[in-house]
Amino acid sequence: MTELSAAPPLPLVMRRKRSNPWGYLFALPYVAHFLVFTAYPLGFALYLTVHRWDIVGNDQPFVGTRNFQKLLRDDLFFTALKNTLIFLAVHVPLQIVVALALAVVLNGPIRFRTFFRTAFFLPYVTSGAVIAIIWTQLYAGDGLLNGFLKVLHLPPQGWLTSTTLAMPSIAIMATWKNVGYYLMIFLAGLQNIPPSLYEEANLNGATGWQRFWYITLPLLNPAMLLVLVLSTIGAFSLFVEPFVMTGGGPVDSTLSVVLLLYRNAFQFLNMGYASTIGVVLALIIFLVTYLQRRVVEQELTY
Amino acid sequence: MIRRSLLLLLALSTAASAQQALTFWPSSNPEEIDFAKAITAAWNKANPTQQVKMQPLPASRSTEEVLLAAIAAKTTPDVAANIYPGAISQFVAAGGLYPHNKLADFKSFMTARSGADVLEAYTSADGNVYQIPWKSNPTMYAYNVTLLAQAGVKPGDLATYSGFLDAARKVKAKWGGKKYLYAPNIDPTWWQRFFDFYTLYIAASGGKTLLDKNGKVTFDNEAGQQVFTFLASLFKEGLAPTSSTAANRFFQGEALIEPAGPFTVPFYQQNAPKGFKFDFVPPPMPDAMKGKPVYTYGDPKNIAVFTTAKDPAVAWKFVKFVLSKENDALFMKSTGQIPYRLNIGKDPTFAPILKARPYLKKFLAQGAYTRGVDDSKNLIEIFDAISRQYDAAVVHGQGDPVSAIKKAAQNARDIIDGF
């Protein structure tokens, strides 16, 4: 015992100093990028919540809690929050169910598997604005979708012009666009499940549904959590679709929090108020994703 | 080594700036680019030592956003055309615009060209003139001559609200709801309201704008209430469609009229179906206003010299060249738009243009009764507040139109008060 301590390994601090200069150098690009494009804007946004600034001028008077008071009185903010939650409630479950179902099918032995995987991924890597413009045409009063309804002798719908349909229409489109990405996450998760578990289940006479319910789903938990959190954050950031397709209408029914933020920032030049909206939204996202982790995450080994 | 390359850079950049030409940003629509090319070429030929480089405004969501970004980045051109007067106070607050009244012979030149009252209308509260009045596009209603006659409607019937609504009912009855007299724009984007609510408000109020002389909100007066009620009844009675379409309703004969300005005529001529006949009427007014002069939205666009101008005097010389009688005539000829110039109707220089395009006479006559927009840095936010109420009460029939315009006015007051 004493002999060992007589020749101790190098103290931790010294080891660090000796081994790290190259490490710092390699970390430098990321750290610089983080400081300039994440830390600084974040700090500046916090600073702006208690100031007023119109972007073009240098004048930034201190306004105390005025921006927060305005937020609490602003009906539009609460409308936008409600709309965003409606979007979330339609989009996230739909996204998970569709992506998971497709992943299970594409993980199995089917023809043209690579083709389908690519096809489902394509919308995700296509520009959101382009997709929004095309879907606007599909959803138009005289668009393709109403054309199908006509063939089936059903009445045409105001997909983007009805206050009740507009947000769900956008949610369906967003699901179609992003499904490829979440599909890939689920596929990766599925391929990590050892085939031996399924073989054993087969020997024990488990049905397909039982295998899915008792093996696939529990073992996909990490992927599920990731998809849930990412799609929730994505849903809270809803912007391009209403911006391009509806401008927030009809009657503010597709006004999302980020669209309201954009208008205040870049149309009305109220950067202080816009930053306040942004900071409050970030807090809400943090809270929701934290709760999701607490509820969904589970340690599991077989 | 570093010092040497820095010196080299410095030398290069001074060399470049010595040869740097005056920059000029015109609007990016094809007719105006052609006009800008022609005058730039003519100027460069006559002024070999003071060259002008023309570069159309980058196509974007709006000219204002592009210019504001340029002011913030100090990359503004020497001269830009097609500036919307509603954005001037923002540009001034950002320190972007040159006070043109400080230029030699500015006042005398502009008074001679456009008249003293036009110049006064564009003088800012601090007594400076930050914009050079250039052109106006009085908003009128274009109508489909053939279909309107088929519906049994005379163009004069559209002058009052009751006549207009009757005409809309006739059109609905005649074609069983497949055609409309007027399909107002239902996009809630703020500037769309220029061509429905705002045009009708200027007409109904006998030439008022949203704010009074002291900057107070007044548009929830009787005129404002009448306009909202009128527009809402179009939608409520099913005389206007609440869905949008990617197709051009006016060209397809689904809407018999639409708001238009002189700038829309070249578009009609190039894109309308064969045999499409159109003409223009002024906007409708409340019945009680019958017989009074009809004011309308002038959709003015101006020119400005920026504070980044290397030599404001040279920039002004170029602007004077653009605004000369010959170039005003060339502008009118190539774009079909109307310069802010006195006595165009009597001037022989313009006579052949008016003869070739007789419809321009209607716009010229209307040009004397136009209003622009208020000079307020909150203008976009105020129009947005109006547009939200328009969307809810007018298009979707939620709540009554009178309370809606009052609510929009209250929102506008809160915006001006900073809350």
Tell me which amino acid residue A234 is. G
Name the residue of chain A whose CA is nearest to B388's CA. Answer: A251
Rounded to an integer, the average pLDDT of B124-133 is: 91
Give me chain A's average pLDDT, please.
88
The 10s digit of each residue's pLDDT in B9-24 is 444 444 444 456 899 9
Asked, for residue A31, whether it belongs to a domain, the answer is no
The 10s digit of each residue's pLDDT in A184-215 is 999 999 998 888 888 888 888 888 888 888 88
Rounded to an integer, the average pLDDT of A213-228 is: 90
Rounded to an integer, the average pLDDT of B371-384 is: 89
Mark out the alpha helices in A35-152 (DSSP H runs): 40-48, 66-73, 75-107, 113-125, 128-139, 144-151
CATH of the domain at A117: 1.10.3720.10
Same fold, B20-130+301-339 and B140-297+376-416: yes
Is residue A97's pLDDT more than 50?
A: yes
A contacts of B392 (beta carbons < 8 Å): 251-252
Q: What percent of chain B has pLDDT over 70?
A: 94
* ipTM > 0.90, yes or no: no
Rounded to an integer, the average pLDDT of B153-177 is: 95
Burial, A222: exposed, middle or buried (Cβ in 10 Å; 0-12, 13-18, 19+)?
middle
How far apart (Å, rounded) are the C-alpha atoms in residues A256 and A83? Answer: 6
Structural domain including A82 reads 66-296
The 10s digit of each residue's pLDDT in A255-293 is 999 999 999 998 888 899 999 999 999 999 999 999 998
The 10s digit of each residue's pLDDT in B62-107 is 778 888 888 888 889 999 998 988 888 888 888 899 999 999 899 9
Taking the domains of chain B in order of start, what are their residue ranges?
A: 20-130+301-339, 140-297+376-416
CA-wise closest residue to A124 among A18, A35, A270, A230: A230
What is the structure's pLDDT at B56?
Answer: 85
Residues 47 to 66 of A: which have CB under 8 A from any B CB? 54-57
Rounded to an integer, the average pLDDT of A123-146 is: 90
Residues 142 to 161 of A: which have CB under 8 A from any B CB? 142-143, 158, 160-161
Name the residue of chain B whose CA is nearest to A137's CA. Answer: B246
Asked whether the beta carbons of residue A266 and residue B65 sit closer than 8 angstroms, the reply is: yes
Query: How many residue contacts between A and B have a Cβ separation below 8 Å?
Result: 75
Smallest CA–CA distance, residue A162 to chain B, in Å, is 9
Give me chain B's average pLDDT, please.
89
Asked whether the beta carbons of residue B93 and residue A56 sit closer than 8 angstroms, the reply is: yes
Q: In b/e form, how buried is each residue of A58-76, taking b as 16+ CB within 10 angstroms?
A: eeeeebeebbbebbeebeb
Is residue A70's pLDDT more than 50?
A: yes
How far apart (Å, rounded) are the C-alpha atoms in residues A100 and B204? Answer: 59
What is the structure's pLDDT at B59?
Answer: 66
Is residue A225's pLDDT more than 60?
A: yes
Q: What percent of chain A has pLDDT over 90?
A: 56
How far apart (Å, rounded) are the C-alpha atoms in residues A49 and A277? Answer: 9
Asked, for residue A301, whether it belongs to a domain, the answer is no
Asked, for residue A24, whether it belongs to a domain, the answer is no
What is the structure's pLDDT at A10?
Answer: 54
Rounded to an integer, the average pLDDT of B159-171 is: 97
Asked whether the beta carbons of residue A140 and residue B246 sit closer than 8 angstroms, the reply is: yes
Rounded to 5°, the CA angle A248-B389-B239 comes to 95
Smallest CA–CA distance, residue B393 to chain A, in Å, is 9
* More confident position, B406 or A266: B406
How far apart (Å, rounded) are the C-alpha atoms in residues A245 and A166? Answer: 10
Rounded to an integer, the average pLDDT of B37-53 is: 94
Q: What percent of chain B has pLDDT over 90?
A: 64
What is the structure's pLDDT at B15?
Answer: 42
On whether any CB of chain A is under 8 Å from the CB of B416, the answer is no
Asked, for residue A16, whether it belongs to a domain, the answer is no
Is residue A5's pLDDT more than 90?
A: no
On whether any CB of chain A is under 8 Å from the CB of B190, the answer is yes
| Contact call for residues A243 and B188 (beta carbons, < 8 A) | no
The 10s digit of each residue's pLDDT in B314-357 is 999 999 999 999 999 999 998 889 999 998 988 999 999 999 88
The 10s digit of each residue's pLDDT in A32-47 is 999 999 999 999 999 9
How far apart (Å, rounded) are the C-alpha atoms in residues B236 and A141? Answer: 19
What is the structure's pLDDT at A11?
Answer: 54
The 10s digit of each residue's pLDDT in B21-36 is 899 999 888 889 999 9
The 10s digit of each residue's pLDDT in B194-244 is 999 999 999 999 999 999 888 899 999 999 999 999 999 999 999 999 877
Name the CATH topology of B20-130+301-339.
D-Maltodextrin-Binding Protein; domain 2 (3.40.190)
How far apart (Å, rounded) are the C-alpha atoms in residues B388 and B404? Answer: 9
- Out of B72, B378, B380, the one facing A56 most closely (by C-beta) is B72
Asked whether the beta carbons of residue A249 and residue B188 sit closer than 8 angstroms, the reply is: yes
Smallest CA–CA distance, residue B244 to chain A, in Å, is 6
DSSP string, B362-408: HHHHHHTSEE-----TTHHHHHHHHHHHIIIIIIS--S-HHHHHHHH
What is the structure's pLDDT at A16?
Answer: 53
Name the residue of chain B whose CA is nearest to A251's CA. Answer: B392
pTM: 0.80
Asked whether the beta carbons of residue A57 and residue B381 sit closer than 8 angstroms, the reply is: no
Asked, for residue A243, whether it belongs to a domain, the answer is yes
When pLDDT is cut at 50, 70 and 90, the band that residue B41 belongs to is very high
Is residue B403's pLDDT more than 70?
A: yes
CA A265 to the chain's CA centroid: 22
Name the CATH topology of B140-297+376-416.
D-Maltodextrin-Binding Protein; domain 2 (3.40.190)
The sign of the torsion formed by the CA atoms of A154, A158, A163, A164 equals positive
Number of domains chain A is built from: 1
| Contact call for residues B274 and B140 (beta carbons, < 8 A) | no
For the packed helices A75-107 and A221-236, what is the interaxial angle rounded to 10 degrees? 150
What is the structure's pLDDT at B24?
Answer: 95
Smallest CA–CA distance, residue B196 to chain A, in Å, is 17
Is residue A169's pLDDT more than 60?
A: yes
Task: Return the structure tokens found at B253.
Answer: 């004969």
